[in-house]
Structure 1
Amino acid sequence: MTVPGRRSSTFIRLLRSGFTDPTAASRLLDADALAAVRTDPVLLDALGATADPDLALLGLVRLAEAQAPEDLPLLLDTLVAAKPLRDRLLGVLGASEALADHLARHPRDWQALVTYEAADLHPGLPEFEAGLADAHDPVALRIAYRRCLLSIAARDVCATIDVAQTAAELADLATATLRAALRIASAAAPQDAAACRLAVIAMGKCGGNELNYVSDVDVIFVGEAAPGTDEGKGIQAATRLASHLMRICSETTVEGSIWPVDANLRPEGRNGPLVRTLASHMAYYQRWAKTWEFQALLKARAVAGDPELGAQYIEAITPLVWQAAERENFVADVQKMRRRVVDNIPASQIDRELKLGPGGLRDVEFAVQLLQLVHGRTDTSLRSGTTLDALHALAAGGYVGRADAAQLHDAYRFLRAMEHRIQLYRLRRTHLVPEDEADLRRLGRSMGLRTEPVAGLNKAWRRHASVVRRLHEKLFYRPLLDAVAQLAPGETRLSPAAAGQRLEALGYADPASALRHLEALASGVSRKAAIQRTLLPVLLGWFADSADPDAGLLNFRKVSDALGKTPWYLRLLRDEGAAAENLARVLSAGRLAPDLLMRAPEAVALLGDPEGLQPRTAEALEQEVLAAVGRAESGEAAVAAARGVRRRELFRTAAADIIASYGTEDSPAEKDCGALVDRVGDAVSELTAATVAGALRAAVRDHWGETLPTRFAVIGVGRFGGHELGYGSDADVLFVHAAKVAQTVIAEMRRLLQLPTADPPLLIDADLRPEGRSGPLVRTLSSYAAYYRRWSLTWESQALLRAEPVAGDADLGRTFIDLIDPLRYPAEGLGEDAVREIRRLKARMEAERLPRGADPTLHTKLGRGGLSDVEWTVQLLQMRHAWAEPGLRTTRTRQALAAAHAAGLIPAEEAQILDEAWVLATRVRNAVMLVRGRAGDTFPTDARELAAVGRYLGYPEGRIGEMLDDYRRTTRRARAVVDDLFYGA
Structure 2
Amino acid sequence: MIAWQKYIHKLPSLLQNRVQNHLACFQQALGSNTGLDFDQHIEKTLCFVWAISDYVARSCTHQPNLLFDLQDSGDLFRSYESNTYSNTLEQLLSNISYESELIAILRYFRRREMVRIIWRDLTHWAEIEETFIDLSKLAETCLNSALDYLQSWQTQQMGIPYGSSSNNPQKIIVLAMGKLGGEELNLSSDIDLIFVYPESGETQGGKKSISNEEYFTRLARSLIRVLSSLTPEGFVFRVDTRLRPDGDSGPLVSSFDAIKNYYQYQGRDWERYAMVKMRAVVGDQYTKNYLTNILHNFTYYPHSEPNVILSLKEMKSLINRELQQKKDEANIKLGVGGIREIEFIVQSFQLIYGGEDPNLQEQNIFFILNYLIKKDYLPSYIGDELRSAYVFLRQVENRIQAYRDEQTHTLPTNLENQIRLSFAMGYEDWEHFSIELNHHRNKIQRYFEELFTASSYIYYKTHPKEQLEQDQSTYHIDGSTNIALNPIDYLCPTKIAETLKQLEQSWSIRALSKRSQAQLKQLILRLLEIINHIEKPEQGLQRIVTLLEAIAKQPIYFDLLLKHPEILSQLANLCTASPFIARQLTHYPVLLAELANPNTLYQVPSFHQLAKNLEQLLSTSTSEDLDQKMDVLRHFRHREALRAAVADITGALPLMRIGDYLTYLAEVIVKKSLELSWQYLVNQYGYPCNIDINSPVENCSFIVIGYGKLGGYELGYSSDLDLVFLYNTFTDELANREQKTIHPTIFYSRLGQHLIQILQTLTPLGKLYDIDMRLRPGGTSGLLVNSFEFYKDYQYNQAWIWEHQALVRARFIAGDKQLATSFALLRNKILSRQRNLEELQTEICSMRSKMQSELDRSQSDLFDLKQGRGGIADIEFIAQYGVLAWSHKHPSLLKYPDNIRIIEELAQIGLISLEDSQKLTNSYRTYRAAANRLSLQEQDDLIESKYFDRERNEIQALWAKLLTA
TM-score after normalising by structure 2: 0.46
TM-score after normalising by structure 1: 0.45
Q: Flag the structure with larger Rg.
A: 1
